[in-house]
Structure 1
Amino acid sequence: MTATDGNGADFITVGAGDDARQIAIALQPAAAGNALAHFVWLGGYRSDMTGTKAIELAALAARLGTTCVRFDYSGHGASGGAFVDGTISRWLEEALAVIDHAAKTLGTRRMVLVGSSMGGWIALRAIADLARRKDIAVTGLVLIAPAPDFTSELIEPNLTEAERTALAERGQFEEPTPYGPDPNIYTRKLIEDGRDNRVLTGVIETGCPVHILQGMADPDVPYGHAVRLMEHLSGDDVVLTMIRDGDHRLSRPQDIAKILEAAEALARAQ
């Protein structure tokens, strides 16, 4: 089911009954006759489709004449649903629903997934699902400061006793963040679901070229995490670009330029 609000934003319904939520999407169609792969933006934890990198990717798509698909996970941006209900499985379901909707609406079958931080984890989970199907082809992955398995690899090992107690007693804990006035919220259901969605457990087969961009000054996802991910992508054509002074956001003009260069190269690849 698709709906449109008064501002022209599109929404699709994902889930049924009490689990139904309205997911906001932005579909930017391709120019007539354009054969380039299109872009699907997969944002990070608590980010939305109006962020700098997402908007710059849409602008690149417009210059190339190809399609760009952006959306907000439930509990993020313009989408419905409560943030605290979010899990990797839930957000993955929404990403796949958006991909299917774009394919049906715009007829786009070849895509480059561009995942930022948690979006990199969602991208790796999505490509595993899409590989079992034959109707959509992922021709490339751009992973920006990717954070696969961040709940089990980066959060759980560093929990304080107070945070463990809060998870056990309240089902969540809060953590200050430099990216906004509101703290990050991590729930027990997110962490438990994260264990079921791990990808750093063996060889990751994407079947397409992968370009990872990672800041070496990233305080949230250590650059060693990107190196480890590259080792798990042992069967793929992988490029790892380390940006010595890059932070987690990688939103400076020079960072954006590198991201767009990688995305364009993969969109043009045959």
Structure 2
Amino acid sequence: MTPPVFLDVDGLSIAVRQTAGAAPGIVWLGGYKSDMLGTKAETLSQWADGQGRAFLRHDYSGHGESGGAFADGTISKWLAESLAVFRHYTKGKQILVGSSMGAWIALRMVQELRKAGENRIAGLVLLAPAPDFTAELVEPVLTKAQKRALREKGFFEEPSDYSAEPYVYTRALIEDGRNNLVMTGPIDTHCPVHILQGLADPDVPSSHALKLVGLLPADDVTLSLIPGGDHRLSRPQDLDMLVRAVDAMARQAG
């Protein structure tokens, strides 16, 4: 495995892996507490390499090989890092592939890039998308004990099905999430969107994906509901669907 290169973003070393190739390039955006060496990112990397297509991925601060503490992370911070990596390492049209929280980052990136006059996003592929998850999926079900922990300690922990270490949710993450909401009205991506959502996802219900679809321009949106698919969407058939979705979008954009 080729070691990552590092980009300094606000004093933190952000780990990046990049493969040069044809445009539109593919930019991977991982989920909350995941890293860029996961099954889906590795599968896409191998596919892109076989296609001669550019592929870029990075770890948010506090994740994987990047510096910083996970508990110091917020959506604004991880968004800023993602934009810095995007601007430093990509040229021309790009397809953003966002998994879970990465889908939220992708949608915010589109907003920020367009605001800056950078219209380089050729398409979005969103897996088990979790935009606004702090406000939509975490806050509404907080227990009294969790609310007290947020007040008194500034965080609470939850066991993770995907790691031996618990998920940490901080008051800063939740408060900052309110400043980054995208599902408050119509979302103008100005590019095609393909959403892949497992129907057996215990973390992000399919109703969340359906709500997102309802806010996107219908003529540019494809929703693939996957029977038996969980939040990871890492079964062989899920990975095959991911590759086919990205390949189709790249051909359409190319």
Would you call these one fold, judging by a TM-score over 0.5? yes
Q: Secondary structure at the match of 1:162?
A: helix
- Which of 157, 167, 175 aligns to 1:192? It is 175
Shift of 1:136: 4.9
Aligned to 2:28: 41
Cα RMSD, aligned residues only: 1.1
Aligned to 2:16: 25
- Which of 29, 47, 52 aligns to 2:39? It is 52
Aligned to 1:69: 56
Instruction: Report Cα offsets for 1:166-224 as digits up to 9, x if no partner.
Output: 00000000001111111100000000000010000010000000000000100000000
Q: Give me the whole-angstrom Cα distance separating, in 2, the residues matched to 1:68 and 1:38.
A: 6
Q: Give me the whole-angstrom Cα distance separating, in 2, the residues matched to 1:135 and 1:115.
A: 19
Select between 134-143 and 72-81 the one with higher mean Cα deviation: 134-143
Q: Give me the whole-angstrom Cα distance separating, in 1, the residues matched to 2:50 and 2:114.
A: 29
Q: Are the aligned partners of 1:149 and 1:194 in contact in 2 as well (CA < 8 Å)? A: yes
Instruction: Report Cα offsets for 1:53-78 as digits up to 9, x if no partner.
Output: 00011111111101000100000000
Counterpart code for 1:96: L
Q: Give me the whole-angstrom Cα distance separating, in 1, the residues matched to 2:131 and 2:161.
A: 21
1:112 aligns with 2:95: yes
- Which of 82, 85, 92 aligns to 1:98? It is 85
- Tell me the TM-score normalised to structure 2 length: 0.97
Aligned to 2:8: 13
1:238 aligns with 2:221: yes
Aligned sequence identity (%): 54
- Which of 127, 152, 160 aligns to 2:135? It is 152
Aligned to 2:200: 217
Aligned to 1:4: none
Counterpart code for 1:23: I
Gaps of 5+ in 2: none
Q: Are the aligned partners of 1:109 and 1:135 in contact in 2 as well (CA < 8 Å)? A: no
1:204 aligns with 2:187: yes
Aligned to 2:231: 248
Q: Give me the whole-angstrom Cα distance separating, in 2, the residues matched to 1:73 and 1:98.
A: 10
Q: Secondary structure at the match of 1:100?
A: helix
Q: Give me the whole-angstrom Cα distance separating, in 2, the residues matched to 1:182 and 1:226.
A: 27
Instruction: Report Cα offsets for 1:97-153 as digits up to 9, x if no partner.
Output: 0001112xxxx2110000000000000000111123444510010000000000000
Gaps of 5+ in 1: 1-6
1:85 aligns with 2:72: yes
Q: Give me the whole-angstrom Cα distance separating, in 2, the residues matched to 1:28 and 1:249.
A: 24
Aligned to 1:259: 242
Counterpart code for 2:72: D
- Tell me the TM-score normalised to structure 1 length: 0.91
Counterpart code for 2:4: A
Q: Give me the whole-angstrom Cα distance separating, in 1, the residues matched to 2:148 and 2:154.
A: 9
Q: Give me the whole-angstrom Cα distance separating, in 1, the residues matched to 2:219 and 2:59.
A: 29
Q: Give me the whole-angstrom Cα distance separating, in 1, the residues matched to 2:214 and 2:204.
A: 16
Q: Give me the whole-angstrom Cα distance separating, in 1, the residues matched to 2:81 and 2:119.
A: 16
